[in-house]
Amino acid sequence: MLALLAKRLVQSALILLGVAAITFVLLYALPADPAVLLAGRSATAQTVANIRHQLGLDQPLLVQFWHYLGNLLQGDLGRSFTQKTDVAPLILARLPATLTLMAAGIAMELVIGVSLGILAALRRGGLVDRLVMSLSFVGVSTPQFLVALLLLYVFAATLGWFPMSGYGTAAHIVLPAATLGILGAGWYARIVRSSMIDVLNQDYVRTARAKGLSRRRIVLRHALPNAILPAIAMIGIDIGQFMSGVVVVEAVYGWPGIGQLAWQAIQQVDIPIIMGVTLVSAAAIVIGNLVADLTAPLIDPRIRAG
């Protein structure tokens, strides 16, 4: 286990280095010039040149990236061009909100997706199966803003059960988490259904049936722990997506997460913030996949034995 952990840590470091290099090159290759945006439309060429020099943008790209890596190893994500403050505190201030929404969203989509996937597998080929698969397709295809606005209209504006927007209480998180859960549950339903159908046809499941075990015990104790492994692996990917890909949901519900921070930075071409959010999201994906890999052997002893 320690050898696997060491190997994955080295791979993770290389992945993050690659993400940093690619993102850095792409951002600084943009036609938009942060110095021009900061100087304003009426600024002279000399003013723009001075700002570019202050930001270090007049140095060769390789030199800029080398300095960035050096600061990154010390935990310094740079300084925001527009907000005139360090990027790390900006992200840390928004991180709790995003982590809360991420955990609630994953829990919601797991509860919905796994339940529907099991139900569809047990009713394979029937009306319930076709209905679940149709709903899962609609869920993964529906735009985030449409689901968010629909839930807001029904449960906040019409019924008044939940607040329209904001952050800080359990009531505020229900609708954003439900939005993410509905959108992501379709993938889990399809994955769990396919995996569950395969597991239910295994010899050890037939043996359990021959022994007279109840259907509930067979599904929950014998089939589900093996069928859910692909879903666990997908959680690692979801962590990164939720860290950076919930911009629309955060905007609709006024949720002060790092997705909203990234969207504001993109509009202002604030490269240090964009770089910081990208690296934090990449690190979340890496950590999520690592946790999934380390958790899988605890669920399926055959992986641990291999």
Highest mean pLDDT out of 68-77, 146-155, 195-204: 146-155
Average pLDDT over residues 6-25: 81
- pLDDT for 40-52, tens place per residue? 667 777 887 887 7
Share of the chain above pLDDT 70, in %: 87
**What are the structural domains of the chain?**
2-73 (no CATH), 95-305 (1.10.3720.10)
Average pLDDT over residues 270-276: 85
Q: Is the dihedral of CA 273, 274, 278, 281 positive or negative?
A: positive
pLDDT value of position 123: 82
Task: Give residue 14's pLDDT band: very low, low, confident or very high (50, 70, 90).
Answer: confident
Long-range residue pairs from 173-178, CB within 8 A, at least 24 positions apart, any chain = 173/100, 173/101, 173/104, 175/148, 175/151, 175/253, 176/101, 176/104, 176/105, 176/148, 176/246, 176/249, 176/250, 176/253, 176/255, 177/101, 177/104, 177/105, 177/107, 177/108, 178/108, 178/151
- Using the predicted structure, report yes or no on whether residue 198 has a pLDDT greater than 70: yes
Type of residue numbered 121: A
- pLDDT for 89-141, tens place per residue? 988 888 888 888 888 888 888 888 888 888 888 888 788 888 888 888 887 77
299, 225 contact by CB (below 8 A): yes
- Using the predicted structure, report yes or no on whether residue 305 has a pLDDT greater than 50: no
Type of residue numbered 252: V
- Using the predicted structure, report yes or no on whether residue 280 has a pLDDT greater than 80: yes
Considering only CA atoms, which of 257, 94, 98, 253 is closest in space to residue 163?
A: 253
Centroid of chain to Cα 99:
10
pLDDT value of position 115: 87
Centroid of chain to Cα 231:
14
Average pLDDT over residues 262-274: 82
Average pLDDT over residues 153-180: 86
**Model-level pTM?**
0.71
- pLDDT for 63-73, tens place per residue? 888 888 888 88
